[in-house]
Homo-oligomer: A and B are copies of this chain.
Amino acid sequence: MMTRRVVVSLSGGMDSTAVLAEALDRGYDVLAVGFTYGSKHNTYENAAAINVAEHYNVPFTLIPLTAVARHLKSNLLIDGGDIPEGHYEEETMSQTVVPGRNMIFASILAGIAWSNDADSVWMGVHSGDHAIYPDCRPDFVDAMNEAMQLGTDERIHLETPFLHANKTSVIDGCDRYNVPWHLTRTCYKDQPIACGKCGSCQERLEAFAANSIEDPIGYETREIMQKGS
């Protein structure tokens, strides 16, 4: 039987790294693809993706989308406002939505999957994203999977193994994979060390604490905030 080939969207964050670990654990032939799109943390995130791909010895392609992102508005991007701080489900976190980002990534990855005889696109969206990011919710994922299958003549489908998991259970579920969390980047801010205060850092800190595991990366602060506090 031929080994399945899959395309993994690898941002350098924890969730996409976990998806990569999962796909490799199943023995699939993986092409990892990331994007530069002018986010404040892109330099650090891209470096993390390169290190993770190197760790797993998988081919990694980094595709520049800065010319696209120039026409998108978000505080996550270099020319946007400040990154909000607080719980990851706070309404203010919607300032970090990049309009259409996951839809754009999914579409490009489907084209790349088709062109490279892969059968699917794997993305690390999970339930922690659902509150803020419309293109990470299950109903979007279902519709996008349908569009992807129809738009590729049933060649490519979308897989999101952690769609209904939260970050805490992603860490828990990856226990047996020995995922290199120390190589991953989560903070949204434009600085080398994680701030610990943005919604993204807060979600990560909460997830490690819930697993009683020490997060191996450095932070400016590790204090966990409650929603609405």
Query: Which A residues lie at the B interface, using CB under 8 A?
Result: 33, 61, 63-65, 67-68, 71-74, 98-104, 106-108, 110-112, 114-116, 134-135, 137, 139-140, 143-144, 146-148, 150-153
Contacts and interface: CB of A to CB of B under 8 A. Distances in A.
Contact of A134 (B63, B74, B135, B151): B151
A137 B150 contact: yes
Q: Is the interface of A mostly helix, strand, loop or mixed?
A: helix
Closest 9 CB pairs of A and B: A100-B111, A135-B151, A99-B114, A143-B147, A73-B115, A140-B150, A143-B146, A99-B111, A107-B107
B110 A134 contact: no
A110 B99 contact: yes
Contacts of A153: 134
How many copies of this chain? 2
A69 to B, nearest CB: 9
A180 B67 CA distance: 29
A104 B147 CA distance: 11
Contacts of A102: 151
20 contacts: A61-B71, A63-B68, A64-B67, A65-B68, A71-B111, A71-B112, A71-B116, A72-B112, A72-B114, A74-B115, A99-B112, A100-B107, A103-B107, A134-B150, A134-B153, A140-B147, A143-B143, A143-B146, A143-B151, A144-B147
